[in-house]
Amino acid sequence: MLNNQNQPDLTMSKSGDSRRIFLQKSLGFLGTMFIPGITFGGDDSYDDITVASPVKSVIFFNMEGGMSHVDTLDHKPNLSPFSASQSSVNGIRFAESMQKTARELHRIALIRSTWSEDGDHNFAQRLLHTGYRLPQAQAFPDIPSLGAVIAFAKKPRQATSYFPSHITMGRRAGLAGRGGFLGVKYSGFQIGNLDNPVTHLKPTVGRLNDDRLGRRGKILDLLNDSFEKDFSSKEIDLWKQMFGAAREFAHSEKLDVFDLSKEAPAVRARFGESWIGKACLMARRLAQAEVPFIEIGVGGWDTHKDNQSKVAQICKDLDPALAALLGELGSSGLLKQTMVIFTSEFGRTPDVGGRDGRDHWPRVWSTLIGGGNIPGGIVVGESDAKGQKPAKRPVHVRELVATLYKAAGVDPEAHPVNSLGRPFPLVPRGTEPLSELIS
């Protein structure tokens, strides 16, 4: 709250201030109250949004564009051109496009009744990353993605130096990677090239040792301190903190986690040398390093035509990589502290048109979720025989987000304070996690 001395005079003076001046003063006051994304780390309160959980990392697979459920995790023999493949859970079949993942189903839970109202890509991605539909989210213009929330909740209590707590790979649709009011410290660190993930940490021209670089940094600090005496602002503070974090990151002892060449050839072969194979292997390494949130965006699912060939092409690399990740996490025991969620922004129409295409279909699709205390081999809900809608236990996306939060150790009923100084419900009020997966 501002005290009376800091509040602008919004009353009309006796001399008759014009309406223009009145509005200028009003807008100036509002401007001081709302500066979205200006903080580096946000409010560092910790315990108020956490709950007990063994989970230290979350790996979030985002099937961008809308994955066909009947051609992957919810096979329908009369609707899919793919044959069926028996999973490791009795009576549950996937499409043959995901046959290797099907053999790992005993390690993870399957939801076959995910749904929403949003068939637009941007609207659906916003809902998937926040639990809020666009009309609701408009009240929170600086809303953070769920990755930033989890990274914020699981940040080290006594961090000695900066290291990314939120990492994204592949495409970043919608709000993926956005730090919102939590600040850029919790925004996603994007990995573009998996063969060379961390670049520009050393000068590209000349040879500068650490001592010389340190002297340059001290000179820059002196210049910044001198400049701030005359020109102080939140933006300057932000950039100073970001520069300091970059220096700490460049000298981090954890940088080897990004080096896939450290893996044995047999392990790399198991994941595959495709982009998604390398991304899944990178995710496993990041989870071993206890990075709080890792997101992998896999595009190409917007199959309005040539659906069968496109699904087959994506799954040729995706299926063995995902199966290898689940297998290694499970056999090593790392799945006990690592959550995996594999889902889509919406499904695709069960019926294929004459062009062999499937259109947007938010009424039902499938999700894999597991790790931590979530039991493996559990199936929640089912779609109807035509693959058009949930037949049992509909699970809205906001319930999925609430479940992810609770299982990962974030209180879905928490209300962190946003840039407006107002409490922000992490999920819309009245949303409950799935009792079938979380006791």
In terms of domains, do 346 and 387 share one? yes
In terms of domains, do 209 and 178 share one? no
d(CA 68, CA 168): 23
The pLDDT, as a whole number, for residue 353 is 80
In terms of domains, do 191 and 240 share one? no
The pLDDT, as a whole number, for residue 59 is 98
The pLDDT, as a whole number, for residue 7 is 35
Which residue stretches of the chain have pLDDT < 50? Answer: 1-41, 46
In terms of domains, do 185 and 208 share one? no
Please state the domain count of the chain: 2
d(CA 339, CA 319): 18
In terms of domains, do 285 and 188 share one? yes
Q: 436 lies in a domain? A: no
Q: 433 lies in a domain? A: no
In terms of domains, do 337 and 192 share one? yes
Structural domain including 355 reads 47-197+259-408
The pLDDT, as a whole number, for residue 168 is 97
Q: 186 lies in a domain? A: yes
The pLDDT, as a whole number, for residue 203 is 58
Q: 133 lies in a domain? A: yes
In terms of domains, do 180 and 212 share one? no
Q: 111 lies in a domain? A: yes
Sign of CA dihedral 395, 396, 399, 401: positive
The pLDDT, as a whole number, for residue 222 is 80
Q: Are 379 and 112 in contact (CB under 8 A)?
A: yes
The pLDDT, as a whole number, for residue 17 is 45
Q: 420 lies in a domain? A: no
Q: Give me the half-sphere count of Cα atoms (radius 13 Å) on the Cβ side of residue 364.
A: 24
In terms of domains, do 116 and 183 share one? yes
Q: Find all residues with CB under 8 Å of 3, minimum gap 6, and list them.
A: none
Q: 428 lies in a domain? A: no
Q: What is the pLDDT of residues 11-37, one digit of tens each?
A: 333 344 444 444 343 333 333 333 333
Extended beta strands in 146-273, E state:
166-170, 189-191
Q: 92 lies in a domain? A: yes
What token pair was written down for 431? Answer: 């949303």
